[in-house]
Amino acid sequence: MHQLISPLGPPRQDVSSLESLAAVYAYPEQVGQGRAWLRANMVASLDGSARLEGLSEGLSGDADKRIFGVLRALSDVVLVGAETVRAEGYRPARARAEFAAARKEAGQAPAPAVAIVSRSLALDLSAPLFTEPVVRTVVITTEDSPADARRAVAEVADVVVAGEGSVDVTRAVAALTERGWTRQLTEGGPRLLGELVAAGLLDELCLSLAPLLTGGGAPRIAQGAEIPGVQRMRLVSLLEQKGFLFTRYLRPAAPSSPPVRDPAR
């Protein structure tokens, strides 16, 4: 994997190692000191599709999956929509030995929690996401969600109520921050990402571009919510491997990330 644009100074020829990728994608130093930071990790085809044959998996590759793992390993919590959980067969985030020392030093749990946004609470509570998590799963729902379903979910996960009729993403993100989870990562899907962007909550977008033209009517990476005006982003990092491009964009006012300590030490 080659770095073409770097947030850390001159680009480097090879950033394939976990240590190098952790440095490229480090959260800003202000995060973890009371300041929350929400980044999104998404993949798209060259013509803008967020899915291939109904899944994002079809757009992914080895390098994309490696970055996916690093972004999770750096985060406190992964925020995801229930539709994506069901479609992609989500499992709990795992503890990775390579990042154990760095997470402990940063005061993080061995693995990030997974927080699911769901109004209907139509979730498979027998799935590993609820029966085998390293950190107890969180479900964010609404005041008017089905009471019986909410009680069932509360037996296997922490329930957060945020909004009525639909989940208020501003309140949802605030609830995660109140738990001390300031290094926040969302993996969509498109509807949730659209709501986060529309609410002005997104600090960073990590977008993988697959060298594919897919056609069809697949959704874009963000949709379903009306975004108030154009939001310009600033490119701070660009990696390439086998035609895949891995971009990292920040909001213009957001600080760039500093170098970080080798997570394997």
In a domain, 91, yes or no: yes
Confidence bin at 255 (pLDDT 50/70/90):
low
Q: Which domain holds residue 28?
A: 2-250
* pLDDT value at residue 227: 81
Q: Which two tokens stand for residue 22?
A: 């952790």
CATH code at position 143: 3.40.430.10
Separation CA 134–CA 113 (nearest Å): 8
Separation CA 77–CA 160 (nearest Å): 14
In a domain, 168, yes or no: yes
Point out which residues pair with 205 in neighbouring strands: 40, 249
Q: What's the number of domains the chain is made of?
A: 1
In a domain, 259, yes or no: no
How big is the CA angle at 32 (ends 263 and 69), to the nearest 5 degrees? Answer: 40
Confidence bin at 217 (pLDDT 50/70/90):
confident
Separation CA 49–CA 210 (nearest Å): 10
> Which pLDDT tens digit goes with each residue over 172-195?
999 999 999 999 999 989 999 999
**Averaged pLDDT of the chain:** 90
Q: Which two tokens stand for residue 77?
A: 């919590």
- Comparing 64-68, 196-200, 211-215, the range with the smallest average pLDDT is 211-215
Confidence bin at 77 (pLDDT 50/70/90):
very high
Question: Per-residue b/e over 121-139, b at no fewer than 16 CB within 10 Å?
Answer: bebebebebbeebebebbb
62: left (phi over 0), alpha (psi -120 to 50) or beta: alpha
In a domain, 64, yes or no: yes
Q: Cβ distance 225 to 194 under 8 Å?
A: yes
In a domain, 260, yes or no: no
> Which pLDDT tens digit goes with each residue over 46-68?
888 888 877 777 788 898 999 99
Residue 95 has pLDDT above 60, yes or no: yes
In a domain, 265, yes or no: no
In a domain, 158, yes or no: yes
In a domain, 49, yes or no: yes
